[in-house]
Amino acid sequence: MTVDTPAPRAGDPAPAAGDGADSLLLQLFPTARRKLPFLRLGSAPTPVRQLTDLPGGGPEVWVKDESRYGGPWGGNKVRKLEWILPDVQRRHRRTILTFGALGTNHGLATALYARELGISTAVALVDQPVDAHVRAQLDRLRASGATLHFTHTPARTTAVAPLLIARHCSPLPPYVLPAGGSSPIGTLGYVEAGLELAAQIRAGELPEPERVFVAVGSGATAAGLALGLRMAGLRISVTGVVVNDLLRLDLRSLQRLARRAARLLRRRGAVVDSDYERIGAQLDVTRRWLGAGYGEPTAESREALRTAAARGLELDPVYTAKAFAAVLGEREESRAGDGPWLFLQTHGPRTDGPPPDAAG
Ligand SMILES: Cc1ncc(COP(=O)(O)O)c(C=O)c1O
């Protein structure tokens, strides 16, 4: 392969966020363009704003709001699908087989966006505490036309995965997509968002944050963001707030995901500096706000939901409420001079939702 573009290095200026139609990642690595198709599904850049009047003192808190990103469902899953869906098409697969818990945002977003491209989705679902939020998600998932397999536990899901793959051959095997869309290719969605954030900082839309807080449900959002910020030459620290105890989610597994994303870029023709893979120093993973487990609310997450709602920020109880609880909790323990901090709003419900007759 001919490589005609010098490798960008940490500190090189990242591309400016343009009209949002093109990918900043592909602008940075143009030699990957041919083998790395991208499908814009939302309107970029997503807005940033300061959250004023938070209780107590402490660092300034800003929000990058991914909630309106995308059409039929919003939030962080859409960015991953911008790379995943073209990859499914490139491999000529007709069905995606993916995994999640009963209230999966990822399974729902995948089903809705894949359907628009004529691709069907099957989701293996493990149990989680069922409340009104989860029941509503399941209704939306059913209405999306996805085939649902209730596999109940991670162990049973692993055991029946070969049967599910065989069942969804058409005739090619289904495209097997890990839980949360956190494959190396899905991770590129948040590398892109990291470059976008860097461009917004450089354009003066927000001050350079000292830390970014993000929920960790399957890992690609935090890992991709840390990698993207590093590629843009920014040493901002990403705090991944673990909300899921059903998957292995620690610093090593997230670093590994970022490395695999960088290697994928290289395999597709990008000239990626190996320095980018050393994101360890700027990624931090905490389980402190998880509570009793995935989908189990905590006193802090309930309070965070209320505090955010009063400031026009709609959080979900499973992911973003715990990530925002981390912001509020760590703010109380902060020292003079800390901040500013940025919270990544990754929850993107659509109250109009997919109507029940949208199935099929
Ligand atoms: C609303 C929301 N926020 C955050 C996350 C976490 O993202 P990731 O799975 O990439 O860790 C998820 C999904 O898991 C989600 O649905």
Task: Find out whether the beta carbon of 230 lies less than 6 Å from any atom of ligand 1.
Answer: no
Span 64-109, pLDDT tens digits: 999 999 999 999 999 999 999 999 999 999 999 999 999 999 999 9
Residue 325 pLDDT class (50, 70, 90 cuts): very high
pLDDT at 354 over 70: no
Span 229-269, pLDDT tens digits: 999 999 999 999 999 999 999 999 999 999 999 999 999 99
Average pLDDT over residues 140-156: 97
**How many folded domains does the chain comprise?**
2
Q: Quick check: is 218 in a domain? A: yes
Which value, in Å, is the radius of gyration of the alpha carbons in the chain?
19
Pair 62, 83 in one domain: no
- Which residue's alpha carbon is nearest to atom 12 within ligand 1? 217
Q: Which residue of 319, 320, 343 sits with most ligand 1 atoms within 8 Å of its CB, as the best mutation to test the pocket?
A: 319
Pair 199, 287 in one domain: yes
Q: Which residue of 218, 315, 324 sits with most ligand 1 atoms within 8 Å of its CB, as the best mutation to test the pocket?
A: 218
Average pLDDT over residues 163-177: 96
**Could you give phi then psi for residue 341, rounded to 5 degrees?**
-115, 155
Pair 132, 259 in one domain: no
pTM: 0.93
Which of 135, 152, 180 represents a domain boundary (last residue)?
180
Task: Find out whether the beta carbon of 341 lies less than 6 Å from any atom of ligand 1.
Answer: no
| pLDDT attached to residue 277 | 76
Task: Find out whether the beta carbon of 105 lies less than 6 Å from any atom of ligand 1.
Answer: yes
Pair 232, 248 in one domain: yes
- Which residue's alpha carbon is nearest to atom 1 within ligand 1? 347
- Which residue's alpha carbon is nearest to atom 13 within ligand 1? 217
Span 16-33, pLDDT tens digits: 544 457 999 999 999 999
Q: What percent of the chain has pLDDT over 90?
A: 87
- CA dist 116 and 311 (Å) reads 34
| pLDDT attached to residue 93 | 98
Compute, in angstroms, the gap from residue 1 CA to the centroid of ligand 1. Answer: 36
Domain that holds residue 98: 77-180
Pair 62, 88 in one domain: no
| pLDDT attached to residue 281 | 82
Task: Find out whether the beta carbon of 182 lies less than 6 Å from any atom of ligand 1.
Answer: yes
Span 291-317, pLDDT tens digits: 999 999 999 999 999 999 999 999 999
Q: Quick check: is 6 in a domain? A: no
Pair 342, 235 in one domain: yes
Residue 279 pLDDT class (50, 70, 90 cuts): confident
CATH code (residue 82): 3.40.50.1100
Q: Quick check: is 84 in a domain? A: yes
Q: Quick check: is 269 in a domain? A: yes
